[in-house]
Amino acid sequence: MYPNAESQDDAERPLLANDAERNYAATSSRNPVDREHRTTFTRNLGAVEAFGIVISIVIGSGVFTSPGAIDTNVPSPGVALIVWLVGGILAWTGATTMAELGTAIPGEGGVQPYLQYIFGDIFGFLAAWTWIIAVMPATLAILSIVFIESIYSAAGVANQADTIQHKLLSILVLIITSVANSISTKVSTRLSSFFVTTKFITIVGIVLAGLLVAVIHLISTDWNGPATDWYTKSWFAFRDTVAPDGRQIHWNDLAGWEMLGHYSAALYGALWAYSGWDKAIYITAELSAPAVQLPLAINSAVPIVIICFIAANTAYYILLPWSVVSTTDSVAVTAIKHLLSPGAGILAAGLICLVVAGSLLGNSFVAGRMVVAAANLNWLPGFLGVLGHLGIPSNDTNATEPPSDWTTPTPKSDAPINALILSTVLPIFYILFGDFRALLTFTGLGEYSFFFLTVLAAIILRFREPDLRRPYKPSILIPIIFALVSGFVVIRGAAFAPTQTLILFSLWILGVGYFQLRKRWTVDRNT
């Protein structure tokens, strides 16, 4: 050993690491260079594929289902559009910070390698644990439920979300999606490209419908269209809205603190609609040139998403009476029904199902890769990191250590089949025992807790390692703004959703216990 080896080791230790982690660190390298060589997947994706995955995940059910919840919590349509803009900008600040970390610290598993590198193994593990056990299963459950709910709505059937038939159909959709992702990475990305096209067609159709109605209204004096509020009323004048419990919200009577509470609720809805902006970093290890392709994908995809969301919501306010927007959770279908006919609403519901299917496919694609990354760091059993195999290879079923060729993609498939099975089984429990609104809050708390820590880590790293090579380096104001907002979102969510917060804390406690037991077992086995 070199004389200064210990001092170098200390210099590279994370901020919150302890001495007990030294032996365990051998199985979970924190060195950025080492990470580059620990990747499992082939680097066969480019900026176009990364762009498609971001678009496929972010443009999901949110832009078609959350406008009503946002409209309820703002005093005017103009303010609602500002909330959509602010939410998009905040998502962009978070995404660009992730791009900085993703190009400076290569690795698999999303935010966990960054938290592990800066704060220590336990924080990296808890991030992976939270996403694998809580965030992604709940997200997949939500999307599966929304898919079936859209079909039910198109058929004119309501209040069926709690029935066993609805839940079983949601599980079936989830399984079909996982099977599609288990074929190969190329099949998944090609399907993603198809769904991206469908998403743009759906949004463009809604925007064109709103534009057509606006033009006809402006050139005709006697045509009575589906709604006239958009040109007879001020877009920023206060008007009463309807709360989910049916009570009227009189905005002129609200005090500043109460109004701020409504604004924060609206912003929370917008941030959920934009959720998925971080997903490009989960395929950093599969990009052929991540330093260039990752920032390019994020900085092209997120602005396009912002424009699409604002344009679609503007169209909703043109196509619908403003009193209707806050009362519906299927604003796109309702808008098309008002414009054309119930039959056209069924067509719109079909397109929205395809949009949700695209998000489901993209999230399932990412969920499997999270499990693989955790298995490669010895945080989960090694067989979960296998590519192209189902279960343990028959030629070495009694091995105590994973064979070295487990991570070699087979000619037939490079999909993480074992990981996909795990990421399919877990959401089934959320579908059976959860509901849409509770799961929505639960995922928000889980995500933004670690988004806050990750962006805080990026700020700390700027001062701790100023000479670290950063191929992409935005202004430090960007992560500071996002850290402040995400911290506020977490605190507010915890205060107003104590049940979900308690469940999340319980999962963290279980995770810490599991981590300590597995670390002790790994260290004892290596000594």
Question: Tell me: the pLDDT tens digits for 119-129?
Answer: 888 998 999 89
Give the pLDDT of residue 425. 92
Average pLDDT score over residue span 504-526: 86
Question: Tell me: the pLDDT tens digits for 173-195?
Answer: 899 888 887 776 667 667 776 77
Sign of the alpha-carbon dihedral angle for 224, 226, 231, 234: positive
Q: How far apart are CA 486 and CA 403, in angstroms?
A: 42
Cβ 201 vs Cβ 209: under 8 Å: no
Q: Is the pLDDT of residue 72 over 70?
A: yes
Per-residue confidence at 306, pLDDT binned at 50, 70, 90? Answer: very high
Contacts of 237 (CB under 8 A, 6+ apart): 76
Give the pLDDT of residue 427. 92
Q: Is the pLDDT of residue 14 over 80?
A: no
Q: Is the pLDDT of residue 315 over 50?
A: yes
For 6-36, the DSSP string reads HHHHHHHS-TT--TTHHHHGGGS---HHHHH
Contacts of 306 (CB under 8 A, 6+ apart): 84, 85, 88, 89, 91, 92
Q: Is the pLDDT of residue 254 over 90?
A: no
Average pLDDT score over residue span 366-381: 83
Q: Is the pLDDT of residue 219 over 90?
A: no
Tokens representing residue 113 in the block = 């390698």
Contacts of 386 (CB under 8 A, 6+ apart): 393, 402, 406, 407, 416, 417, 418
Q: Is 109 left (phi over 0), alpha (psi -120 to 50) or beta?
A: left
Which residue, among 99, 70, 69, has the nearest Cα to 82 in the 3D structure? 70
User: For 281-298, b where at least 16 C-beta lie within 10 A, e where not — what string?
Assistant: bbbbbbbeebbebbbbbb
Three-state secondary structure call for residue 242: strand
129 exposed, middle or buried (CB, 10 Å; 0-12, 13-18, 19+)?
buried
Cβ 120 vs Cβ 21: under 8 Å: yes
Three-state secondary structure call for residue 422: helix
Which residue, among 166, 140, 164, 168, has the nearest Cα to 151 in the 3D structure? 166
Three-state secondary structure call for residue 71: helix
Give the pLDDT of residue 28. 45
Higher pLDDT, 285 or 166: 166
Contacts of 78 (CB under 8 A, 6+ apart): 234, 235, 236
For the full predicted model, state whether its pTM sits above 0.85.
no
Q: How far apart are CA 446 and CA 237, in angstroms?
A: 36
Q: Tell me which of 61-75, 325-339, 386-400 is least confident.
A: 386-400
Q: What is the dihedral of CA 265, 268, 269, 275, to 10 degrees?
A: 180
Contacts of 487 (CB under 8 A, 6+ apart): 452
Q: Tell me which of 151-160, 224-233, 264-273, 511-520 is least confident.
A: 151-160
Give the pLDDT of residue 462. 92
Q: Is the pLDDT of residue 486 over 90?
A: no
Give the pLDDT of residue 46. 74
Three-state secondary structure call for residue 274: coil
Cβ 443 vs Cβ 142: under 8 Å: yes
What residue spans of 13-111 are helical by DSSP H?
Answer: 21-24, 32-36, 47-58, 62-65, 67-72, 77-104
Q: How far apart are CA 472 and CA 47, in angstroms?
A: 15
Q: Is the pLDDT of residue 170 over 70?
A: yes
Average pLDDT score over residue span 496-514: 91
Q: How far apart are CA 189 and CA 369, in angstroms?
A: 14
Q: Is the pLDDT of residue 282 over 60?
A: yes
Cβ 430 vs Cβ 185: under 8 Å: no
User: Hey, which residues does 339 pair with through a beta bridge?
Assistant: none
Higher pLDDT, 505 or 9: 505
Give the pLDDT of residue 26. 40
Cβ 132 vs Cβ 370: under 8 Å: yes
Tokens representing residue 33 in the block = 């260079």
Give the pLDDT of residue 352. 77
Average pLDDT score over residue span 303-317: 92
The residue written with tokens 């919200």 in the block is 249
Which residue, among 195, 174, 184, 176, has the nearest Cα to 54 in the 3D structure? 195
Question: Tell me: the pLDDT tens digits for 383-420?
Answer: 887 776 676 655 544 434 444 444 444 445 667 788 88
Per-residue confidence at 25, pLDDT binned at 50, 70, 90? Answer: very low
Give the pLDDT of residue 165. 86
Q: What kind and span of H or E run contains 75?
A: none
Cβ 249 vs Cβ 42: under 8 Å: no
Average pLDDT score over residue span 479-483: 91
Query: CATH assignment of 44-366+435-522, given 3.20.20.70, 3.40.50.450, 1.20.1740.10, 3.20.20.60?
Result: 1.20.1740.10
Per-residue confidence at 156, pLDDT binned at 50, 70, 90? Answer: low
Contacts of 285 (CB under 8 A, 6+ apart): 39, 40, 41, 43, 106, 107, 108
Average pLDDT score over residue span 93-117: 81
Higher pLDDT, 197 or 482: 482
Tokens representing residue 297 in the block = 């994908």
User: For 306-318, b where at least 16 C-beta lie within 10 A, e where not — what string?
Assistant: bebbbbbbbbbbb
User: Hey, which residues does 240 pair with through a beta bridge?
Assistant: none
Give the pLDDT of residue 313. 93
Average pLDDT score over residue span 248-265: 78
Q: What is the dihedral of CA 356, 360, 362, 363, to 10 degrees?
A: 130
Q: How far apart are CA 487 and CA 450, in angstroms?
A: 10
Cβ count within 10 A of residue 477: 9
Q: How far apart are CA 392 and CA 383, in angstroms?
A: 6
Most confident of 22-36, 220-234, 310-324, 398-412: 310-324
Give the pLDDT of residue 283. 67
- What is the share, in percent, of the chain residues with pLDDT greater than 70? 77
User: Hey, which residues does 287 pair with through a beta bridge?
Assistant: 45
Q: How far apart are CA 468 and CA 487, in angstroms?
A: 26
